Copies of this chain bind each other. A is one copy, B any other.
Amino acid sequence: MIDIATRVWNHKWKIDPIVRSLIDTDFYKLLMCQSVFRNRPDTRVTFSLINRSAHVPLARLIDEGELREQLDHIRTLSLARGESTWLRGNTFYGQRQMFRPDFMEWFEALTLPPYHLERRGDQYELAFEGAWPEVMLWEIPALAVLMELRSRAVLRDLGRFELQVLYAQAMSRVWGKVQRLRDLPDLRLADFGTRRRHSFLWQDWCVQALREGLGDSFTGTSNCLIAKNRDLEAIGTNAHELPMVYSALAEGDAALARAPYDVLADWQEEHSGNLRIILPDTYGTAGFLERAPDWLAGWTGIRVDSGDPAEGAETAIRWWQSRGEDPREKLVIFSDGLDVDKIEQLHQQFSGRVRVSFGWGTLLTNDFRGLVEGDRLAPFSLVCKAVAADGKPTVKLSDNPRKAMGPEAEVERYKRVFGVGAQEEMEVVV
């Protein structure tokens, strides 16, 4: 029996919107947004899309008109009443009223600012300019739209049966991974896969798989909309954009050297407990920790997001020990390019020595490797970064020079200021 009403309804849609809610974004964006709204509301920033995987010709795969339609749709979104109620009333990290009334009022009135889109060869230039708290909220939806439009472009060539088999294989793969993870005692793992997901529905399915398969070992999702819809914990703390923008705004080398700590001083005023997580790699983990003020050693943990993750964690352990802290009480969150093998290794190496947690991203929500001919559904490395603040370029060094960004002269200056020497290059898969 065909439901004619449903079919006719579907035909009426001009587009099938990818992002349908302003909270279909990572939780840490909202935390950071509130922090920026409080501390640097007038800073003007530019965010820009960067496709690190030049072999994926986004502009050939994705129609510019379709991309504009999706981005335009996002600009029509505003916070729904139920979403606002959830943000105001829900408990995050055990705390009520995480989001302050003045921020919520601002957020309720927000629509996202305009975008600048231009085709350059086989790639798109996509940029967002304006007040930091507004522009920063473009990052996740912009990435999700591009990732999903790319998926759709590839899937368009497949027949109905091929699609069924494709998703059956992808589900089997995710479930196989989940089964392996069940064997890890005291695992703690969250979904960090919003930005480079295959699609919204697929991320939502992966989250269900984690919940069904891992039970309490699954700690939640970074995606606010999915957390709300599925009654899960929203997970996340802070990201590179804070030190990058603070650093760009710093006047002179002394202020620059202080900037990454200024960020965390502001954060410490606002957050306690599990939200006090250091992200040390923006300008090199080793130097950052060496020069860190003692109050930072008292923070709950660290997030390891580039370089060799085991080395990063060992560095943190030595640092805590040197500051008289007990690493076994500290949290280490691994979040860079994880897949099951690496999760197993890191779990094995660090369980019992620190409290270990995993933020599993792209290879959770977009592992379609090898499932279509020419591997045209394999995930790739797309980012959307703050590239300028109040007219000054931002710089990121990272613990992996392939993730570095910024004008060459500035990169050299930052390396000097932060004492970063030779770094080991590591392949960036996702």
Q: Give residues in A with beta carbon < 8 Å to B.
A: 1, 3, 5-6, 9, 159, 161-162, 164-165, 167-169, 171-172, 175, 208-209, 212
Contact = CB atoms under 8 A, between A and B. Distances in A.
Nearest to A161: B212
A167 B168 contact: yes
A342 B209 CA distance: 34
A181 B36 CA distance: 58
Number of copies: 2
A185 B171 CA distance: 31
B5 A9 contact: no
Nearest to A162: B212
Contacts of A212: 159, 161-162, 165
A162 B169 CA distance: 15
A212 B165 CA distance: 11
Nearest to A175: B165
Given A1-B9, A161-B209, A169-B171, 16 more contacts: A1-B3, A1-B5, A1-B6, A3-B6, A161-B212, A162-B212, A164-B171, A165-B171, A165-B175, A165-B209, A165-B212, A167-B168, A168-B169, A168-B171, A169-B172, A172-B172
9 contacts: A1-B5, A3-B3, A161-B208, A161-B209, A162-B212, A165-B209, A168-B168, A168-B169, A169-B171
A168 B162 contact: no
A201 B162 CA distance: 18
A161 B174 CA distance: 13
Nearest to A4: B3
Interface of A is mostly: helix
A150 to B, nearest CB: 23
A209 B162 CA distance: 9
User: Which of A5, A6, A161, A172 has most B Cβ within 10 Å?
Assistant: A172
Contacts of A208: 161
A1 B7 CA distance: 11
A84 to B, nearest CB: 26
Contact of A169 (B6, B175, B209): B175
Contacts of A171: 164-165, 168-169, 172
Nearest to A176: B169
A61 B172 CA distance: 28
Nearest to A159: B212
Nearest to A6: B1
A175 B168 CA distance: 9
Nearest to A167: B168
A407 to B, nearest CB: 48
A382 B9 CA distance: 48
A209 B172 CA distance: 17
A270 to B, nearest CB: 38
Contacts of A169: 168, 171-172, 175
Contacts of A159: 212
Contacts of A167: 168
Nearest to A10: B1
Contact of A168 (B3, B6, B9, B172): B172
A175 to B, nearest CB: 5
A179 to B, nearest CB: 10
A208 B208 CA distance: 29
A202 to B, nearest CB: 13
A118 to B, nearest CB: 39
A292 to B, nearest CB: 44
Contacts of A175: 165, 168-169
Contacts of A209: 161, 165
A169 B169 CA distance: 7
A318 B351 CA distance: 65
Report the 10 A-B pairs with minimum CB-CB distance, sorted nearest first: A168-B171, A172-B172, A168-B168, A3-B3, A169-B172, A165-B175, A161-B212, A168-B172, A1-B6, A161-B208
Contacts of A162: 212
Nearest to A205: B164
Contacts of A172: 165, 168-169, 171-172
Nearest to A3: B3
